[in-house]
Amino acid sequence: MRVAWLQQLQGLGRVPVLFKDKVLITIFDRHTKQSSFVVYKKEDGSFIWNKTLPAGGYMTPVIGEKTVFVPTRFTKIAGLDLETGEEKWTFDFATRIRTSPYQHEENIIVPTANKIYLIDEDGNVNLMKKFPDMFFYGEPKVKERYIYVLGNKSSSELAQQVIMCLDIETLEVIWEVSAGEGKVMTCDTAGLALNDFNVYITNRTGTIFCLDQLTGKINWKYETKTQNNRSKPIIFKGKIYTNSSEGIITCLCAETGKKIFAKQLDKEGMYSPIGCNEDSIIVHCGVFLYMLHNDTGEIITKLPVGHGPYTQPIVDSHCQKLYLAAGDPPDYFNLVCLDLKRKAPELVEVIRQDYQKGDKDTLRVEFKVNVRNSNVLVDTAILGGPEYYKPEMQEGSYLIEKDIPSYLRYGHYALPVTITTEDQIITDFLYLNLSSEKTELPSKYLIQDFETNYQDSPSFSGGATMKSLLGYWGKEVDIALIKDVAQHYKKINVDPHHKWRTGAVRMFHASSLPINEASGEPRVPGLNLFLKNDNNS
């Protein structure tokens, strides 16, 4: 794999969408709370058009004949002109968009909350049905006259994850099968997979199910014992592949469920579905993009490209190119086009790295570039800037020496490197591992036998999680109080939703307020909930 071109993105890049000779990328800017939908030429990355709208919605855009369907304002889908990006119409579902629609003929199929809509390119609703007790998630699929869709059903005391088969003409339920305890996965890339006769899903405990498409009969199931339903399984050449947040990719025979291989690539985990190309699969795990042999899982090559929590490697098999958004969430991202035909030698190679901690952390990296007579620039924006850092030339190598923010000291990073010669411009990546010094803290404070409270509403997962965590440490609190505190944080514009490096801060996301809705600091009872030092703290 070699970089064909790279475009810097002003925010977090999501799943690329290919159409005709173009590629569309969604970019979320957390500072402006807007999403930009930008179209480039697939061949060289040259700009075509951009449309910016208020942000909102876990959804990959869908391409129609003349319309691009995009998410906006959390509960709406806008129809943009395919050639210009001009906004033609907007439809409000009145509930949050939590997954990607599926295009079928002249309609897109949109599951949202407990309803399913069929909407055409003019924004007209051609069919809608409400399903009591359901909460849909994951991209649906269509096979002949049937829609297959995932969801949670809460009619019983314990919510169940279910898969439904629906008649596409009427939305009547043909069959419904439970897949264990419920779990809503709000993500662009969650969903299911189909082949000629079966439908494949995963559940919250890592079980892979193979069901008959016509009857819903479970043909087989396999326990991976991993967390693998953030991204949909992929069928390729008679095999089913699932990845996991533990960084393990599992490959099974799609017909029998027999394990072919399971391979751990990086403990930082996988958050996007795989890509497929000829006899290989493409896996984004941690900061690296891996090419594996599809039969054995053997690593063919790997390239540092950066992290990507809401993306997917998209392969154009006709021209053997791959498109991926990756970087350092939530602010520094690139749209990268890779040439899969070119077997690239290692162009940028780290010789030594030294990291000094202090009031200001200092990074010193010596590296070599295996291209003669070249001018080298390194994009160090991820490390606090500048975007175009000219490293000091030494005999046979280059040197980066700069102060960086201390909060970056435990990360893994891929810095874009531009190499210019007399006749070409080459882009590659410099891999930095600033996590080599291990600490005992994670193992010392590892929580085991941790039970979670069930949320009282699909909107409030954060409150239940925080109540569980504080209860584990002996402090009993009411979920309503946690919600009040979360509302306060939202009102003073502290939004924990996209704080990538703090991980578990997501549990604070118990607020129902829109992001950036209000300002000021009204007094909220229990504001000192997490600070108060009493006998129960």
When computed from its CA atoms, the radius of gyration of the chain, rounded to whole angstroms, is 24
Higher model confidence: residue 510 or residue 396? 396
Domain assignment present for 120: no
Read off the pLDDT band of 359 (50, 70, 90).
confident
Residue 196 has pLDDT above 90, yes or no: yes
Gap between the Cα atoms of 5 and 337, Å rounded: 5
Res. 521: pLDDT tops 50: no
Pair (457, 407) in one structural domain? no
Any idea which residue has 């009591």 for tokens? 132
Helix (H) or strand (E) holding 80: strand 76-81
Average the pLDDT over 428-439 and give the result. Answer: 80
Residue 262 covered by a domain = no
CA angle in degrees (0–180, nearest 5) for 481-482-485? 90
Choice among 179-188, 190-199, 290-299 with the minimum mean pLDDT: 179-188
Is residue 211 predicted with pLDDT exceeding 60? yes
User: Residues of 365-396 as b/e, b for ≥16 C-beta within 10 angstroms?
Assistant: bbbebebeebebbbbbbbbeeeeebebeeeee
d(CA 116, CA 274): 27
Residue 47's domain spans which residues? 1-58+271-344
In this structure, what token pair is assigned to residue 162? Answer: 């279910």
Three-class DSSP category at 371? coil
Q: Which pLDDT score, from 0 to 100, does residue 30 have?
A: 87
Q: How many other CB atoms are there within 10 angstroms of residue 238's CB atom? A: 11
Alpha-carbon distance of 493 to 152, in angstroms, equals 31
Residues of the chain above pLDDT 70, percent = 85
Look at residue 63 and tell me if it is in a domain. Answer: no
* pLDDT of res. 450: 67
- pLDDT tier for residue 112 given thresholds of 50, 70 and 90: very high
Q: In what order do the strands lie in the sheet with 397-404?
A: 348-356, 361-369, 397-404, 392-394
Q: How many CA atoms lie within 13 A of 125 on its CB side?
A: 13
Q: Which residue has the higher pLDDT, 102 or 434?
A: 102
Question: Is residue 33 a contact partner of residue 517, using CB atoms and an 8 Å limit?
Answer: no
Same domain, 317 and 364: no
Let me know: does 139 contact 102? Beta carbons within 8 Å. Answer: yes
Lowest mean pLDDT of 42-56, 360-374, 399-413, 471-485, name the range. 471-485
Task: Give the residue with greater pLDDT, 521 vs 309.
Answer: 309
Q: Of 410, 433, 456, which residue is a domain's last?
A: 433
**Whether residue 418 sits in one domain with residue 495:** no
Q: Look at residue 159 and tell me whether its pLDDT is greater than 90.
A: no
**Is residue 281 domain-shared with residue 322, that is, in the same domain?**
yes
Residues 377-381: what's their mean pLDDT? 94
Q: What is the secondary structure of 21-35 as a DSSP string? A: TEEEEEEEETTTTEE
Q: Identify the residue with better confidence: 191 or 497.
A: 191
Q: Is residue 98 part of a domain?
A: no
Check pLDDT > 50 for residue 503.
no
Question: Given CA atoms 382, 387, 392, 395 in this order, what sign does their dihedral have?
Answer: positive
Q: How far apart are CA 288 and CA 428, in angstroms?
A: 13
* 184-188, 193-197, 212-216: segment of lowest average pLDDT: 184-188
Residue 176 has pLDDT above 60, yes or no: yes
pLDDT over threshold 60, residue 29: yes
pLDDT one-digit tens code per residue, 47-78: 999 999 999 888 999 999 999 999 999 999 99
- List the single range of 152-156, 231-235, 328-332, 491-495 with lowest mean pLDDT: 491-495
- Examine the pLDDT at 415 and tell me if it is beyond 90: yes
Would you state the pLDDT for residue 241?
97
Residue 254 in any domain: the answer is no
Other Cβ atoms closer than 10 A to 297: 19
* Secondary structure tally for the chain: helices H, strands E: 3, 40
Name the 3-class secondary structure at 382.
Answer: helix
Whether 339 and 292 share a structural domain? yes
φ, ψ of residue 463 to 5 degrees: the values are -65, -45
Greater confidence (417 vs 484) lies with: 417
pLDDT of residue 440: 65
- In eight-state DSSP terms, residue 455 is P
438-450 average pLDDT score: 66
Q: Is 146 a domain residue?
A: no
- pLDDT for 156 equals 61
Number of domains the chain is built from = 3
- Number of neighbours of residue 261 by Cβ within 10 angstroms: 17
| pLDDT above 80: residue 500 | no
C-alpha span between 188 and 259 (Å, rounded): 27
Give residue 533's pLDDT: 34
Residue 104 in any domain: the answer is no
The CATH number given to whatever domain includes residue 383 is: 2.60.40
The domain boundary residue, chosen from 433, 460, 487: 433
Task: Quote the pLDDT of residue 65.
Answer: 95
Q: 283: closest CA among 252, 326, 227, 318?
A: 326
Domain final residue, candidates 344, 377, 392: 344
Residue 56: what pLDDT?
83
pLDDT confidence bin for 464, thresholds 50/70/90: confident
**Mean pLDDT, range 77-93, rounded to an integer:** 97
Question: Strand, coil or helix: what is 184?
Answer: coil
Give yes or no for a contact between 96 and 57, defined as CB atoms under 8 angstroms apart: yes
Q: In the predicted model, what is the mean pLDDT of residues 496-523?
A: 36
Q: How does pLDDT run across 126-146, given as a tens digit for each residue?
A: 999 999 889 999 999 999 999
Considering the domain architecture, whether residues 356 and 394 belong to the same structural domain is answered as yes
Would you state the torsion angle of the CA atoms of residues 251, 104, 94, 482, taken in this order, to the nearest 10 degrees?
0
**Continuous segment of H or E residues that includes residue 484:** helix 479-491
Contact 292, 300 (CB under 8 A): yes
Asked if the structure places residue 22 within a domain, the reply is yes
**Residue 335 and residue 402 in one domain:** no
Q: Mean pLDDT across the stretch 336-365?
A: 88
Please state, rounded to an integer, the average pLDDT across all residues of the chain.
86
Q: What is the model's pTM?
A: 0.84
307 with 284: CB under 8 angstroms?
A: no
Q: Distance between CA atoms of 13 and 25, rounded to whole angstroms? A: 7
Q: Which residues contact 271 (CB under 8 A, 6 or more apart)?
A: 189, 230, 231, 245, 284, 308, 309, 310
CA dist 316 and 81 (Å) reads 23
Q: What are the tokens at 321?
A: 């190119």
Instruction: State whether 372 and 425 are in the same domain.
Output: yes
- 442 vs 263: which has the higher pLDDT: 263
Assigned token pair, 481: 């109080």
Q: Are residues 335 and 360 in the same domain?
A: no
